[in-house]
């Protein structure tokens, strides 16, 4: 079994590559739920939906989130009725949130809902939320503390960031199966996701870091920072707020002590000796996932690196 | 102030006539909430929405309910995700249910939500739910006891009916303003709605019948039964279950002791002496509300009858 620690868009694209090179049913994705929030009284789970809908080939590939061809009739009326309009929710998309909220309110866990959605949408990859407990990621900014999605979407990542909080993480537990998956994986791949707000919440859960250190599986990541810039999303200001260098080396620092290997982009080849000096094996390839071939190549290189780490 | 006791489609059309002949802001509608139900975890309020959206000129006039031009992208996905599909919910329609549920969960009352929706949608008629407490109408059938909408929509009114229950009505209270409106109205019009399941729940609320009897205002209804058939909906089997004659006379019996006047259709003119024998003044007109003129005429005749009743 190949375990992937996953955020949203970057992780979903990485998984699209992985399912091309290993049997999808042999993959388990543990997905960040720090972005989850209540909006319109509905439980929105951005990363779970991005991962599930991408693997179900339903995603709007252009933007990386949302359902392809979705419409916004409901949201336009919600706004008319006084509801918040800053977070885009398509009509089909809303069905996921309505159904999830209904199932959660009637006693199901988020894990059970994720499993049900995966099954109904025909996704063979096993999808686990990182936790069934709410652990909202808050961003501490010069405009106050706010939910990550408020920071990213409502405020367009404009406020100055000076810290990050995973609210309630101390009391949260990893979802059923997460620690077992870490213990029994052949390889653990940290997707090219934001190390601070996508993978950070997973690593902050009690027991996860210890399980990763105890697991015999090699831990390999793909840098989401290429040529000193984030491929997508607000990694730069968030890494800067945590005093991380905005580079593949900074990503390696973010995962200090956990990594056996790291895949970096060709443009960052000059960083390989610096990263290697941290005791991390480095593989260099084209990490920009433009199409199916680049995705498959990145998955292949990551798995080869993981296999190489195990042999050493 | 003119008070209208209202169900769904028939009441909404009657109100469309009334707003043509008296200032809309002088009208208060007390609307049945016995049809309200939880579906997909959302609070659906069929009659409130029909009345509000009809007066906002948003309704699908052909079917009498639903938003004109609405789409069903969300529902089709809810069904795909395993949700119930028997009750049609358009994308725009769902916005009402999502927003209402969100407001209710955050502590607002149904009255407050109804007032907010009315205001936002530009409806001048005051709209009061009959109660802020849930009082679901259950139909006792040969296939068991079921919610009214399950009986009507899911089972297409096919089961044999042998009774009706307004669950929790003994402990429910009329919504704020309902008893005051009854006490202070100049005229009380019972819309041409189903006497058993549309007006019945309003009359069953503690204090409502007493308030109607105590009010100096004349109480006038329009028969929803014309020529021995219901204009719309399942009045026939429901009236039959309560041993009511399927006629304007049966409707008069259903409101025994409450009515000062009744408007009946020309085709039922032969019933006028029977109804008059119950001490009820009768007006005869064309009661089928085909278009704006017929609606306005029906409202005018009803108001004239009410004025006549008061003089006597």
**Mean predicted confidence (pLDDT) in B50-54:** 97
Segment among A4-8, A145-149, B233-237 with least mean pLDDT: B233-237
B37–A contact, CB cutoff 8 A: no
Nearest CB to B41 within list A81, A83, A101: A101
Task: Dump pLDDT digits (tens) for A104-128.
Answer: 999 999 999 999 999 999 999 999 9
Across chain A, what does the average pLDDT equal? Answer: 96
Q: What angle do CA B216, B220, B226 make, to 5 degrees?
A: 170
**Predicted pLDDT of residue B311:** 58
Number of neighbours of residue B78 by Cβ within 10 angstroms: 24
Q: Which two tokens stand for residue A14?
A: 């990485």
Residues 6 or more apart whose Cβ sits within 8 Å of residue A272? A264, A282, A284
Contact state of A41 with B120 under an 8 Å Cβ cutoff: no
B81–A contact, CB cutoff 8 A: yes
**Mean predicted confidence (pLDDT) in B110-122:** 98
Instruction: Compute the nearest-CA separation of B114 from chain A (Å).
Output: 11
Task: Dump pLDDT digits (tens) for A153-205.
Answer: 999 999 999 999 999 999 999 999 999 999 999 999 999 999 999 999 999 99
Q: Backbone phi, then psi, for A175, in 5-degree steps?
A: -65, 155
List chain A residues with CB under 8 Å of B94.
74, 94, 98
Instruction: Compute the nearest-CA separation of B74 from chain A (Å).
Output: 5
Task: Dump pLDDT digits (tens) for A258-293.
Answer: 999 999 999 999 999 999 999 999 999 999 999 999
Residues 6 or more apart whose Cβ sits within 8 Å of residue B118? B52, B125, B126, B127
Q: Taking the CA of residue B306 as centre, how many other CA atoms within 13 Å lie in the half-sphere pointing to its CB?
A: 23
Residue B69 CA to residue B74 CA, distance in Å, equals: 15
Nearest CB to B102 within list A40, A106, A116: A40
- DSSP annotation of A194: -
Buried b (16+ CB within 10 A) or exposed e, A50-76: bbbbbbbebbbeeebbbbeebbbbbbe
From chain A residues 110-149, the ones with a CB under 8 A of any chain B CB are 116-117, 120
Nearest CB to B74 within list A40, A94, A102: A94
Task: Report the CATH fold assignment for B2-134+171-309.
Answer: Rossmann fold (3.40.50)
Ranges of H-type helices in chain B: 9-21, 46-55, 73-80, 91-105, 110-120, 148-149, 178-184, 200-204, 208-214, 235-241, 248-254, 272-276, 292-311
- Cα(first)–Cα(last) distance of chain B, in Å? 20
Model confidence at B309, in pLDDT bands (50, 70, 90)? Answer: confident
Map residue B282 onto helix, strand or coil. Answer: strand
Residue in chain A closest to B41 (alpha carbons) equals A102
Nearest CB to A74 within list B82, B94, B117: B94
Contact state of B83 with A99 under an 8 Å Cβ cutoff: yes
Task: Dump pLDDT digits (tens) for B220-231.
Answer: 999 999 999 998
Give the H or E element holding residue B71.
Answer: none
- Contacts of the segment B291-299: beta carbons below 8 A, 24+ positions apart: B292/B16, B292/B17, B292/B20, B294/B17, B295/B13, B295/B14, B295/B16, B295/B17, B295/B20, B296/B17, B296/B20, B296/B21, B297/B17, B298/B14, B298/B17, B298/B192, B298/B222, B298/B263, B299/B14, B299/B17, B299/B18, B299/B20, B299/B21, B299/B22
Is a pLDDT exceeding 80 seen at residue A310? no
Nearest CB to A98 within list B40, B106, B116: B40
Specify whether the CB–CB gap between B157 and B198 falls below 8 A: no
List chain A residues with CB under 8 Å of B75.
95
Residues 6 or more apart whose Cβ sits within 8 Å of residue A174? A30, A130, A131, A205, A206, A207, A208
Which has the closest alpha carbon to B78: B64, B68, B89, B67?
A: B89
Instruction: Compute the nearest-CA separation of B39 from chain A (Å).
Output: 9
**Predicted pLDDT of residue A311:** 59
Q: What angle do CA A29, A31, A36 make, to 5 degrees?
A: 160
Residue B87 CA to residue B77 CA, distance in Å, equals: 14
Residue A87 CA to residue A93 CA, distance in Å, equals: 12
Please report the number of interchain residue pairs, chain A to chain B, with beta-carbon separation below 8 angstroms. Answer: 102
B254–A contact, CB cutoff 8 A: no
Residue A35 CA to residue B59 CA, distance in Å, equals: 37
Model confidence at B233, in pLDDT bands (50, 70, 90)? Answer: confident
Q: Taking the CA of residue B101 as centre, how many other CA atoms within 13 Å lie in the half-sphere pointing to its CB?
A: 25
Task: Dump pLDDT digits (tens) for B148-194.
Answer: 999 999 999 999 999 999 999 999 999 999 999 999 999 999 999 99
Residue A220 CA to residue A299 CA, distance in Å, equals: 11
Residue B201 CA to residue B204 CA, distance in Å, equals: 5
Model confidence at A231, in pLDDT bands (50, 70, 90)? Answer: confident
List chain B residues with CB under 8 Å of A102.
40-42, 83
Which of B99, B100, B113, B118 should we substitute to test contact with A (largest number of A Cβ atoms within 10 Å)?
A: B99
């Amino acid at each position: 079994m190949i375990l992937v620690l996953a955020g949203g868009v970057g992780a979903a694209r990485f998984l699209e590559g992985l399912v091309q090179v290993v049997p999808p049913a042999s993959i388990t994705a543990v997905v960040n739920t720090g972005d989850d929030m209540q909006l319109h009284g509905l439980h929105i789970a951005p990363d779970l939906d991005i991962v599930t809908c991408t693997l179900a080939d339903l995603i709007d590939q252009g933007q990386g989130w949302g359902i392809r061809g979705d419409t916004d009739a409901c949201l336009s009326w919600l706004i008319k009725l006084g509801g918040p309009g800053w977070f885009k929710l398509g009509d089909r998309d809303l069905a996921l949130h309505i159904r999830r909220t209904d199932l959660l309110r009637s006693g199901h866990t988020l894990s059970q809902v994720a499993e049900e959605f995966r099954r109904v949408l025909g996704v063979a990859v096993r999808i686990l939320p990182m936790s069934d407990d709410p652990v909202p990621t808050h961003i501490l900014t010069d405009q106050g503390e706010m939910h990550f999605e408020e920071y990213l979407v409502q405020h367009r990542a404009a406020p100055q960031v000076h810290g990050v909080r995973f609210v309630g993480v101390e009391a949260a537990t990893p979802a059923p199966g997460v620690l077992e998956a870490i213990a029994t994986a052949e390889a653990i791949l940290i997707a090219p996701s934001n190390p601070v707000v996508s993978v950070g919440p997973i690593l902050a859960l009690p027991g996860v870091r210890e399980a990763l250190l105890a697991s015999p599986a090699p831990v390999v990541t793909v840098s989401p920072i290429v040529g000193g810039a984030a491929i997508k999303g607000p990694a730069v200001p968030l890494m800067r707020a945590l005093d991380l260098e905005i580079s593949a080396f900074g990503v390696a620092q973010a995962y200090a002590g956990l990594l056996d290997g790291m895949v970096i982009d060709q443009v960052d080849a000059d960083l390989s000796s610096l990263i290697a000096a941290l005791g991390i094996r480095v593989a260099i390839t084209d990490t920009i996932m433009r199409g199916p071939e680049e995705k498959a190549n990145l998955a292949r290189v990551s798995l080869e690196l993981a296999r190489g780490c195990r042999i050493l």
